[in-house]
Amino acid sequence: MRTVPRHEFVSPSMRRYAYQDSALPIGHRQTISPPFIVAYMTETIAPRETDRVLEIGTGSGYQAAVLSELVRDVFTIEIVEPLGRAARRRLQRLKYGNVHTRIGDGYKGWAEKAPFDKIIVTCSPEKVPAPLVDQLKEGGRLLIPLGERYQQVFHLFEKKNGRLVQTN
């Protein structure tokens, strides 16, 4: 994480706060996660350099950039079109060549690029979307915050015999 310039993933007016451990606004009523949360999510999925990771909720692209330094490929989906376009440009400008972006409904996953070794979801549904289970490799890990808007809990699952088993 130390090599990813977080200040590049926030607006110029927020750059002085970029390295504080707090969420910062990125527009469209969205925020960039605090560094602690990005580190927690990254560490929890136990990334390997051979992994192909699907991220749901690109936001500014920061989590994808962090992952890109640890895994083979990151596929990231953003539903808010202006955020997705800005993240794509930013990731290209910063030369994160192994990050692939898409604008769309992340809860549908990215079937053409599946299966994935790991899936990180940064937005909170009430239950795990079925397409994500289908697109996760056997033995793969999925980290997702589940719950209502103001009360979410991270859940880590592993796919065993075609089903998700909670591991935390």
Rounded distance between C-alpha atoms, residue 58 and residue 156, angstroms = 19
Is residue 136 a contact partner of residue 116, using CB atoms and an 8 Å limit?
yes
- Partnered with residue 52 across adjacent β-strands are 73
Helix (H) or strand (E) holding 80: none
Of 11, 13, 33, 60, catalytic: 33
> Is 33 one of the annotated active-site residues of the chain?
yes
Active site (catalytic) residues = 33
